[in-house]
Structure 1
Amino acid sequence: MRWFKNVTLVLLAFVVGIILLPFQAKAAAPKQILIGTLYASSGTFATSSTSQYHGLEFWVSQVNKQGGVYVAAFKKKIPVKLIAYDDQSSTTLAATLYNQLVTRDKVNILVADFGSVLTSVAVPIAQEHKILLFDPTGTSAKFFSPANPYLVLTSLPTSGVWPTVLADFLITHKINKVAVIYSANDFNQSQAETLKAKLEAAKIKPVYYHAVPTDTSNYTVLIRTIQAKHPQALIEFGYPPNDIAFLQNLQASGAKFNMVFTIFPGQQLALIEKNVGAKALEYTYTYPTPPLLVYNKVNCGMPMSEFEKVYTQDTKRPVDFLTAAGYNNGLIIEKTLATAKEFNQLSFRNAINSFSGKIFTLNGLFKINNEGAQIGEFLPVGQFQPTKAGLALHVVYPMNIATGKPIYPAP
């Protein structure tokens, strides 16, 4: 009968184990929340990337001053450690370093570097390893799919929708002869394609539509070619080095256009003005973004006015949009950890879905669609107008939020 007794004991232990399984302790809380990201200290994207990184770095310092981030899955605050590597604006190096963050450093949270180019290699890596990628500014629409739950765009809408308001402005003001020059990458090309499609839907065919390599540094010949087409508006889509070269060449050429539009004066005004001068920006149109757009009615994080003050005091650096975007990305991470019921990647995404459309930050409304793309924010049209005190940026369209009237044609 001994064998029967032994079998009975084994079966009893098995049954008890099954009964107690749901009550077993959860995995122990980590000592630190590891956040991994990249930045570029050199190369094409350096100025934008470092600004975004400094914003995220500032958020880390702020939460750690308060004892860390509250993690709902463990019902306590846990300090944050930021692990960052320099990708030197190289997608090849960035791919290696993103992999290193995931496989060697085993970060809990993965954050993309600035822009679509450096984010492009992070998206498939995050999806392969099933880790949620917090994407501040990689806005290519090609990244987003209902089949990939491991991507969330935090601080800008997808680039394909950026020029929607710009197109409406051109159509409303009967600006029918439009020239478009754009850098050949996902970020700029998607904007050019959207603008062209919307104009053509209004029976406006661009008089000039041309792509250039992203590393283009001289636009003089192109400006002369465009001038011969006599456009009413010249639209240039590029990254900061493109905008700087374009505006420098435009001023040096002496060519005059009724309307000139570029992207990054509205995001990195100090950088652009330092390189081209205030005179070159007079009457230029752009997308105004924080801090040029001020959102002080928030329910998550610091309002813009407070952020500018505290960030400048703490870091001795000026604030631009990408600084705010990096900080805003941190706020979304913070809210995610405070909301997620379990400490895993899909629980993080479900948490984000639950507060999407309900929080307002210094960047405006945070809201994503089912693909993880940001749809809560939009980009109005602004114009830099000269005053006795210097340049003033006025929102000129749409009319319901306008702070001034466009000066068109430019003097």
Structure 2
Amino acid sequence: MLTKMVTGFVAAAVLTVSAHAAPAAPSEIKIGTLYASSGAFAAISMPVYSGLKFWVEQKNAEGGVFVKPYNKKIPIKLVAYDDQSNTATAATLYNQLITQDKVDLLVADSGSVLTSVAVPIAREHKMLLIDQTGTGASFFTKDNPYIVLTADPVSSIWPKYVADFLTKDGAKMGVKRVALLYATNDFTGTQATAVRNFIKAAGSQVKIVYDQGVPTSTTNYTVLINNIKATNPDAVVELGYPNNDIAFLRNLQDSGVKFNFVFNIYSGLETSHLLETAGAKAMQYTYTYVTSSVLHYKPEFGMGLDDYRAAWEKKNAGGKITFGFNAVAGYTTGLVLENALAKTPSMDQLALRKTIGDFSGKLKTLDGTFQIDEAGAQIGEITPLGQVIPDGKGGVKFTVVYPPEVATGKPIYPAPQQ
């Protein structure tokens, strides 16, 4: 009788321990993503993919990434497909990653256009979408918990420093009339709306006198530049993807038209790419976002900028991809995932989402402070406004001009007539 009782207690104890033991660990953590090796978005997609892949290879070289629910390091398998910058192809491949590959984590391709098709698919399948750089404001709603933006500020707040500069410092320098030209997609369309709203809310003398959206596929801006010139603006804000900015800057230089202030996005985000395609002369004295590919934040997690850039360039030596903000963005995404896996109580998608929300505002990487709002939109990592200045060696450098607390110099306004 005593033997049976002892045996019963041991069995109960074993069951109790088993109930609280870590679940059986998988052989790998599958991360699914897309990239565009060709087409309109290759210039932003391939650097992001290279940064994410860098992080995966770094973790695997260390024996894998630590996953709290299994209390051990587990190797990462990166499942990646080429969407060729095509949204229909991307939609098919996102579905494949979820339903056939059954990935543990779903990471969007770069940019708002290729992310836009992933948002409803991820939500339908109750899969958390790790949104790297898709900043369209419409992606983020309080009734959708299945999205987190990791590396870019949401477009509804991103251009705040541009508008603040124009309505404050710019107004003091004589800026009164602003021309707004933008590509009609979630990324730059949202930024255009934000610029309008910020300028209107400022209640200053600055007014928008030209406001025109064009297809993202636009490759010739000559007529548009002449139309803008006819409105006699003091400042021109051009918002587009790399191919838009390249075409605009080339056409502006070729036209001989001179504006006192020109803003574009990708002189700052993908500087090396624009130097190769538009040229230093076309970029000189324009204004742009100064990003974490140039600014040295003090990371508390992950590599610092100089070390990361050196390691990235060594790994990508001889390739066609140039280092810029998007290479930082992909690596930053990896750091967010690393933190989430190390802290989540389970691999449940909403548990992962809650965990990421819990360290919002506390994670400091080479991209600045990671901070999201309740809808998953990135509200940290806002990039200062800078001016592109000749470096005297045939290239360019940046002077941060706004906000004042991080400024490294004064703006040169009006732009010199070259």
TM-score interval w.r.t. the shorter chain? Answer: over 0.9
Instruction: Determine if the alignment matches structure 1 residue 60 to structure 2 residue 56.
Output: yes
Distance 1:217 1:168, change over 3 A: same
User: Among residues 368, 380, 383, which one is paired with 1:379 in the alignment?
Assistant: 383
Instruction: Determine if the alignment matches structure 1 residue 97 to structure 2 residue 102.
Output: no
Q: Please tell me whether the aligned partners of residues 196 and 205 of structure 1 are also in contact (alpha carbons under 8 angstroms).
A: no
Aligned to 1:231: 233
Query: Which secondary structure does the structure 2 equivalent of 1:38 belong to?
Result: strand
User: Among residues 263, 266, 272, which one is paired with 1:270 in the alignment?
Assistant: 272
Aligned to 1:366: 370
TM-score normalised to structure 1 length: 0.93
Aligned to 1:304: 305
Q: Please tell me whether the aligned partners of residues 400 and 408 of structure 2 are also in contact (alpha carbons under 8 angstroms).
A: yes
Q: Please tell me whether the aligned partners of residues 144 and 371 of structure 1 are also in contact (alpha carbons under 8 angstroms).
A: yes
Instruction: Determine if the alignment matches structure 1 residue 31 to structure 2 residue 27.
Output: yes
Aligned to 2:187: 187
Shift in Å, 1:396: 0.5
Query: Which secondary structure does the structure 2 equivalent of 1:102 belong to?
Result: helix
Q: Please tell me whether the aligned partners of residues 258 and 409 of structure 1 are also in contact (alpha carbons under 8 angstroms).
A: yes
Shift in Å, 1:339: 0.5
Give every structure 1 segment of 4 or more consecutive aligned residues whose post-TM-superposition deviation is greater than 6 Å.
Answer: none
Residue by residue, what CA displacement relative to the aligned partner does 1:350-404 show, whole Å, maximum 9, x if unpaired?
2112211111101000111111111121121100112323322110111110011
Aligned to 1:216: 218
Alignment of 1:31-180 (within 5 A): 31-172=27-168, 173-174=170-171, 175-180=175-180
Quick one: distance in 2 between partners of 1:293 and 1:261?
Answer: 19
Q: Please tell me whether the aligned partners of residues 157 and 379 of structure 2 are also in contact (alpha carbons under 8 angstroms).
A: no
Shift in Å, 1:315: 2.3
Quick one: distance in 1 between partners of 2:139 and 2:301?
Answer: 27
Residue by residue, what CA displacement relative to the aligned partner does 1:316-338 show, whole Å, maximum 9, x if unpaired?
15421001100100110011000
Instruction: Determine if the alignment matches structure 1 residue 252 to structure 2 residue 254.
Output: yes
Quick one: distance in 2 between partners of 1:194 and 1:400?
Answer: 23
Quick one: distance in 2 between partners of 1:110 and 1:387?
Answer: 41
Shift in Å, 1:89: 0.8
Q: Please tell me whether the aligned partners of residues 140 and 158 of structure 1 are also in contact (alpha carbons under 8 angstroms).
A: yes
Query: Which secondary structure does the structure 2 equivalent of 1:161 belong to?
Result: coil
Q: Please tell me whether the aligned partners of residues 113 and 185 of structure 2 are also in contact (alpha carbons under 8 angstroms).
A: yes
Quick one: distance in 2 between partners of 1:338 and 1:104?
Answer: 26
Q: Please tell me whether the aligned partners of residues 155 and 194 of structure 2 are also in contact (alpha carbons under 8 angstroms).
A: no
Alignment of 1:321-340 (within 5 A): 321-340=325-344
Aligned to 1:9: none
| Residue type of the alignment partner of 2:362 | K
Residue by residue, what CA displacement relative to the aligned partner does 1:154-210 show, whole Å, maximum 9, x if unpaired?
001101111111111001121111001000111111111111122223253311100
Length, aligned pairs only: 395
Quick one: distance in 1 between partners of 2:20 and 2:192?
Answer: 56
RMSD: 1.7
Query: Which secondary structure does the structure 1 equivalent of 2:207 belong to?
Result: coil
Aligned to 2:197: 197
Aligned to 1:403: 408
TM-score normalised to structure 2 length: 0.92
Query: Which secondary structure does the structure 1 equivalent of 2:190 belong to?
Result: helix
Query: Which secondary structure does the structure 2 equivalent of 1:118 belong to?
Result: helix
| Runs of 5+ consecutive residues of structure 2 not aligned to the other structure | 1-7
Residue by residue, what CA displacement relative to the aligned partner does 1:64-102 show, whole Å, maximum 9, x if unpaired?
000000001111000001000011111111110000000
Shift in Å, 1:24: 6.7
| Runs of 5+ consecutive residues of structure 1 not aligned to the other structure | 1-11
Quick one: distance in 2 between partners of 1:246 and 1:344?
Answer: 46
Identity %: 52
Instruction: Determine if the alignment matches structure 1 residue 315 to structure 2 residue 316.
Output: yes
Aligned to 2:360: 356
Q: Please tell me whether the aligned partners of residues 385 and 393 of structure 1 are also in contact (alpha carbons under 8 angstroms).
A: yes
| Residue type of the alignment partner of 2:409 | G
Quick one: distance in 1 between partners of 2:353 and 2:200?
Answer: 38
Quick one: distance in 2 between partners of 1:347 and 1:190?
Answer: 30
| Residue type of the alignment partner of 2:358 | S
Residue by residue, what CA displacement relative to the aligned partner does 1:109-152 show, whole Å, maximum 9, x if unpaired?
00000111110111111111111111110001111112111111
